[in-house]
């Protein structure tokens, strides 16, 4: 019997995902969906995975009807199972999957006023404050902010390069000039930390895809280091190497919850709220919707158009008749 047949299903999924350079986040997400799929059908052997179309259809319908998941969550589960059958089991599903689709809702994003943004940022300190300023000042996702590398910042052009954003696409967005001295001061401390790591025999950083093989020394170069490194070193779950990863997004969200509680805000805010506020406030200033689409990295302008709903004060911009009394 070959090693491939002896290997456990989830181990094989991990190996193939790493071969195709999927991110660790996507790997963990796909593994979790495959586990839930197997548990739902009480599968014990690989033979139980046969006739995938019917079983996947039943599972996706269960998610929509019983679990009431969002369309994006249902699609995520579908992508994980398609990967399982096509790439791992080598039995791509030929029949159409006619599962009940999750109900798509138009959710107007939570947006802060400029004064609320100012108050929250004023209560934050250190790295969480710097990151939130980037979220609001450049329209970044939290994952994009924490993954920034030193070389991605162009002070002269006042721009940030977002590498492998959503959809694995790069884009360039604006960089707030007011953040230059603060960030430079922060990076002086980060560089000192990096030099200390190098002196101790560490100092490597994770490089995406095949860059580590193409540029074997780049992992220790200053330009490739994370702008917001974690406090401590940790073992890479894939390579086993000891590295300094980027700061965890939960650090920012915890600080935001504390600030919102202090201010007594009833809005449910998160790091993503500042990306929404960035787009909405640009619209208020008259920035073209296509420009905002490019800055945010949206594939379709219809996604960006959601922010026009926020600008329609009241119900579709109509003043209440009560105010005329």
Q: Kind and range of the H or E element at 243?
A: strand 242-243
Active site residue 186: no
Phi, psi of 174 (to 5 degrees): -75, 155
Contacts of 304 (CB under 8 A, 6+ apart): 279, 289, 292, 293, 296, 298
In the set 14, 55, 133, 141, the catalytic residue is 141
Active site residue 298: yes
In the set 28, 171, 272, 309, the catalytic residue is 272
Token code pair at residue 143: 């994952």
Q: What is the 3-state secondary structure (H, E, C) of 254-286?
A: HHHHHHHHHHCCCCCCCHHHHHHHHHHHHHHCC
Beta strands in 16-78 (DSSP E): none
- CB-CB neighbours of 170 under 10 Å: 11
Active site residue 267: no
Active site residue 275: yes
In the set 166, 171, 186, 309, the catalytic residue is 166
Please answer whether residues 124 and 255 qualify as being in contact, where contact means their C-beta atoms are separated by less than 8 angstroms: yes
Please answer whether residues 77 and 102 qualify as being in contact, where contact means their C-beta atoms are separated by less than 8 angstroms: no
For the chain, the 3-state helix, strand and coil shares in percent, each to the nearest 5, are: 55, 5, 40
Active site residue 189: no
> Catalytic amino acids?
141, 166, 272, 275, 298, 307
């Amino acid at each position: 019997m070959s090693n491939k047949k002896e290997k456990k299903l989830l181990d094989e999924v991990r190996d193939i995902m790493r071969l195709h350079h999927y991110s660790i986040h996507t790997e963990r997400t796909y593994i979790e969906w495959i586990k839930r799929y197997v548990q739902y059908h009480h599968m014990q052997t690989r033979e139980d995975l046969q006739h995938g179309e019917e079983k996947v259809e039943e599972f996706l319908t269960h998610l929509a009807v019983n679990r009431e998941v969002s369309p994006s969550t249902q699609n995520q589960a579908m992508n994980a199972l398609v990967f399982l059958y096509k790439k791992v089991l080598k039995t791509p599903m030929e029949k159409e999957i006619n599962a009940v689709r999750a109900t798509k809702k138009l959710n107007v994003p939570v947006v802060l006023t400029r004064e609320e943004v100012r108050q929250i940022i004023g209560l934050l300190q250190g790295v969480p404050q710097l990151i939130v300023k980037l979220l609001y000042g450049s329209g970044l996702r939290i994952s994009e902010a924490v993954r920034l590398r030193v070389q991605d910042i162009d002070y002269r052009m006042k721009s940030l390069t977002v590498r492998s954003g959503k959809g694995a696409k790069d884009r360039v967005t604006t960089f707030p000039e007011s953040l230059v001295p603060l960030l430079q001061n922060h990076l002086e401390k980060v560089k000192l930390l990096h030099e200390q790591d190098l002196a101790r025999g560490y100092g490597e950083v994770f490089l995406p895809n095949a860059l580590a093989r193409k540029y074997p020394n780049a992992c220790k170069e200053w330009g490739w280091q994370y702008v917001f490194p974690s406090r401590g070193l940790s073992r890479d779950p894939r390579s086993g190497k000891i590295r300094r990863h980027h700061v965890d997004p939960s650090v920012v969200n915890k600080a935001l919850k504390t600030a919102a509680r202090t201010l007594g805000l009833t809005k449910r805010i998160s790091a993503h709220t500042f990306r929404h506020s960035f787009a909405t406030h640009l619209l208020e200033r008259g920035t073209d919707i296509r420009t905002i689409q490019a800055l945010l990295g949206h594939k379709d302008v219809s996604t960006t158009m959601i922010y026009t709903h926020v600008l329609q004060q009241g119900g579709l911009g109509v003043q209440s008749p009560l105010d005329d009394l």
